[in-house]
Amino acid sequence: MARNEGREVSRRGMLRLAGTGLGLVALGAGAWGCGPVEDPGAVATPSASEPAPGGGDAFTTPPPGTAPKPLWQRRTAKGSLGMDALAVAGDVVLVSGDPLVGRDVATGEERWRREEVAVPGAKMLVRGGTLYLASAQYDGDVVGLDPATGRETWRSRLGKRFSQPRTIAADERRVYVLAGILEKDFSVKRNVIAAIDASTGKVAWQELRDAGTEEYGITAEAVGGHLVYTDFRENVTVRDTATGRQRWTKKIGRSNSGRLAVHEGLVIVADAGRLRAFALADGTEKWSLASDEFTRFHGLGVLDGVLYASDSGHVLRAVDPATGKESWRTEALLDVAYPGQFAKVGTTLYAATELDDKGGILAFDARDGKLRWRYNDGSGALDQWHVVAAGDRLAALHGERLTALPAV
């Protein structure tokens, strides 16, 4: 049975990689077909045509095992493709796309709209009250917007020497970008990673990356003086955020363009059938956790001091990020795709699934992993789901549809 599940997982995995690769090569952009979908069956699913009127502050908790009805739903712009295409800043929810629109989390009403300001699929990177984006004019600039109003409040002019800079991470002091170096014949053979001062907009440092390293498939975090990132070339690398100096880099056994997790001096990555934790300071491997036979890890994230990780066998685990010790696992997901992104409100863990028409937003008891409910919008689209906590609400993105759910 494990071998059969592995073959099914492989099929889904190829779909996911194909979709991701297409989005990366095209820098975003994509429209997805919709159609009817049968009821997932395991957990009651509400009709997407019955959102609670007007959203607002009042909503009730549905019976156990029943997913809540949407508070509101809105169509989004084409091109909202990317691992971090959804963000919440204060009481405004943002979805990557053109036009870029800021919506009220409570009601779904449009607060502001900006045309030609965001590259479709751009990472929604909010730090220190600013949304950082590469300029949609492809002029080498990086811009900062006020998420509450959409007004430009900051700009860094990197110049035309750099090709298509992309924001990958930020902290309170700097914004970190990856950009190709434009040759005289307009080709790009090498790329740099650079830090931009958040107060002046000037480049604090730039470091040439090794020949052959990819510009795309980058996942990064900036924390505690460390800039840590993985890429398609099967590397995990850590740099000093103050100087750009590379502290260490390691080859990992499988191309990794998924999420990484950082927790108290450790970076945790999914390396095929293992979770691996490395010390940020020197790259020493601190622990490793193997998945079941014929499966590999995919989505992971640390929330409230707990590492949550899913694998291609549709198993979700809660793990101590300091030691790698597993505290619980659930195998209640065999009829849906594995989760790829997580959010948490109170004692409930929310998971957004990968490419699967029977997936959606899953709610678990964070204490023991018991599945509480599953929400699916009924569109039948194979797009990846995204979820972000917004107070007592969840913002959920699926294809070209943005949904607000009560966090219950």
Computed from CA positions of residues 134, 137, 143, 148, in that sequence, does the dihedral angle turn out positive or negative? negative
At 56 the pLDDT is: 55
Contact yes or no for 144/181 (Cβ under 8 A)? no
Residue 366 is predicted with a pLDDT of 95
pLDDT at 22: 31
pLDDT, position 10: 39
Q: What is the pLDDT of residue 162?
A: 73
Q: According to the model, what pLDDT value does residue 327 have?
A: 95
C-alpha 312, offset from chain centre: 18
Within 8 A by CB and 6+ apart from 184, the residues are none
Question: What would the DSSP string read from start to end of 259-283?
Answer: --EEETTEEEEEETTEEEEEETTT-
Give residue 257's pLDDT. Answer: 52
- Per-residue tokens: 10: 């492989």
What pLDDT shows up at residue 29?
27
Tokens representing 248?
């260490």
pLDDT tens for 95-139 read: 988 889 999 999 999 999 999 888 777 788 999 899 999 888 877
**Positions in the chain whose pLDDT score sits under 70:** 1-61, 78-82, 186, 211-216, 232-233, 254-258, 332-336, 355-357
Which residues in 183-333 belong to E strands, given as ranges? 188-197, 203-208, 219-223, 226-230, 235-240, 246-251, 261-263, 266-271, 274-279, 285-290, 297-303, 306-311, 316-319, 326-330
Q: What is the reported pLDDT for 365?
A: 94
Beta carbons of 298 and 255 less than 8 angstroms apart: no
CA 100 to CA 109: how far, in whole Å?
14
Predicted pLDDT of residue 317? 93
CB atoms within 10 A of CB 262: 17
Q: What angle do CA 31, 33, 37 make, to 5 degrees?
A: 145
